[in-house]
Amino acid sequence: MIGSALVRSLRADGHEVVRLVRGPARGADEVAWDPRRRYVDVSGLAGCDAVVHLAGAGVGERRWTEAYKREIRDSRVLGTAAVAEAVASLDEPPKVLVCGSALGYYGDTGARAVDESAPAGDGFLPSVCVEWEAAAAPAEEAGIRVAYARTGLVVAREGGAWGRLFPLFRAGLGGRLGHGRQYWSFIALHDEVAALRHLVDTPGLAGPVNLTAPEPVTNREVTEAMSRVLRRPAFLHVPAPALRIALGDFAADVLGSQRVLPGRLLGTGFRFAFPTVDAAIRAAA
């Protein structure tokens, strides 16, 4: 979802974009890769000014069996290693590699606000994020500027957590999850794309960068905003035990709280078009 929106944005501004595809390349705008085998057709990357790598299995797509947890981890770590090794091998490497990451790095922060200076949290997703970012080391060692885009919950109709919320709330079936006091650090899809381009275009901006709106809100506040913007009732409540039964290990992350601030984005002059949750929902609706 994010990559497709980024491609549209770049091409609309006249940039030439090539996409990594799992399978044979079918045109000049495609490059074959196989993340599991850590293979990338490096000839297709020659001359690129920037590489953006966002691929990874969806954390909310399936119940977290041990096999799917391996898929979540391997899809990120092996894919990042493949891209980092490929760009590092080029005679003329790109100026920057923007590598996907996530706010899962911080774990459950409760009501405590954190920025990029905070350490990694405990648990499965923080450990995945640590390995994910570390896999880009070959690019850093080759002297390429590497930025880690620690993305929050993207507000969009097309996919992700919010892609599931919109149909439920439109049908009047929305409601808070658990006690509702857990913080959700969100970002509008428009701002996510703009922030990724900011990472590409800002010299010296390297390391972790939180891609999240400046005003995190609680799940209760998300529920109220969705009801308000979409003009639908939201009286339902999904209790925590039911979520744990339905989602297994993933329920801990749905019920967990992440109050994460975009310190480095704001510090480098980035301006959010949709800084509030109401504005982000309206932009997606």
Average pLDDT over residues 183-209: 97
The answer to whether residue 220 is domain-embedded is no
43 lies in a domain?
A: yes
Q: Please check whether residue 11 lies inside any domain of the structure.
A: yes
pLDDT tens column, 100-133: 999 999 999 999 999 999 999 999 999 999 999 9
CATH number of the domain enclosing 35: 3.40.50.720
Q: Which residue has the tokens 């999904």?
A: 238
CA distance 140 to 96: 9
- The total domain count for the chain is 1
Q: List the structure tokens of 101.
A: 């990451």
What pLDDT band is residue 251 in, cutting at 50, 70 and 90?
Answer: low
Structure tokens at 128: 């995945």
Instruction: Give the model confidence (pLDDT) of 26-85 as tens digits.
Output: 998 999 999 988 899 999 999 999 999 999 988 877 778 899 999 999 999 999 999 999
Residue 81 lies inside a defined structural domain of this protein: yes
Q: What range defines the domain where residue 51 resides?
A: 1-156+184-213+260-272
pLDDT of residue 247: 59
Using CA atoms, how far residue 162 sits from 4, 68, 156, 223, in Å, is 17, 22, 6, 11
Beta-carbon contacts of residue 47 (< 8 Å; ≥ 6 apart): 92
Determine the pLDDT at residue 62: 78
User: Of 119, 200, 184, 108, nearest to 151 (Cα)?
Assistant: 184
